[in-house]
Amino acid sequence: MSLNRKEAIKEYKERKIPRGVFVVRCAETGQRWVGSALNLEAARNRLWFTLRLGKHPDKTLQQLWNDCGEQAFEYEMIEKLADDVLEMAVGDLLKEKRRHWSAELDAVALL
């Protein structure tokens, strides 16, 4: 194994995965949904996957997705947690941040 490959693997394993809060917006209606995730990069993929399958648990979001199409939706990371947050506090902090942003943006909280 080359040194560059070993370095790349090490960097990949040590990378910081962004945790935090995101918002999904429908451009056609202006409606918003706020969610939180331990991996903000993977959250969009998971969300879009369930919507494309027609299996998202939020029926309003799913119906708008079906009616307006994927192009009408955008995903934005709105707050990332600091890297030094204790692991045992992350879940409660994400819930708190999700509630805060839901109220701030007058959005539906995704669970």
Residue 76 structure tokens: 């934005």
| pLDDT at residue 52 is higher than 80 | yes
Q: What is the pTM (predicted TM-score) of this model?
A: 0.85
Class of domain 18-109 as given by CATH: alpha beta
Measuring CA to CA, how many Å separate 82 from each of 67, 85, 86? 37, 6, 10
Helices 59-68/40-53 angle, 10° precision: 70
What pLDDT does 2 receive? 62
Is the confidence at residue 46, as pLDDT, over 60? yes
For the cut 70, the answer to whether the pLDDT of residue 3 exceeds it is no
**What's the average model confidence in pLDDT over 4-16?**
77
C-alpha to C-alpha distances, 64 to 5, 25, 31, 59, 76, nearest whole angstrom:
45, 11, 9, 9, 18
pLDDT band at 85 (very low <50, low <70, confident <90, very high): confident
